[in-house]
Amino acid sequence: MAITKVWIEEGCIVCNACEAECPEVFHVTDTSCNVNGAVREDGVDSENRDEQSLLSGSNGTDLEAAIEAASASCPVEVIKFDKA
């Protein structure tokens, strides 16, 4: 099963663990973490909490292990994803 979408819930502490694990998907800002628009169907850089944009192309398959590692490394457990 591939990851179809990934988002950041409220409460990010901008620790940079997710970007260190998977810089293709995650970009830490001064206030939160964004899901890179380059890997999203809508092309928008944001937390993707409201939009719930799907991952584009084969990103959900190609980056599955790295996204799961980033989610597991999040100390506040705000990285969420869906699989299909």
pTM score, two decimals?
0.96
Phi, psi of 69 (to 5 degrees): -65, -40
Residue range 12-33: average pLDDT?
A: 97
Domain containing 26: what range?
3-83
* Residue 29: predicted pLDDT: 95
pLDDT exceeds cutoff 90 at 11 = yes
CATH number of the domain within which 8 lies: 3.30.70.20
Q: To the nearest whole percent, how much of the chain has pLDDT over 90?
A: 99
- pLDDT of res. 15: 97
**Average pLDDT of the chain, as a whole number:** 97
- Per-residue pLDDT band for 1 (boundaries 50, 70, 90) equals confident
The domain total for the chain is 1
First to last CA, the chain: 6
Residue 43 CB contacts under 8 Å (≥ 6 apart), including other chains: 37
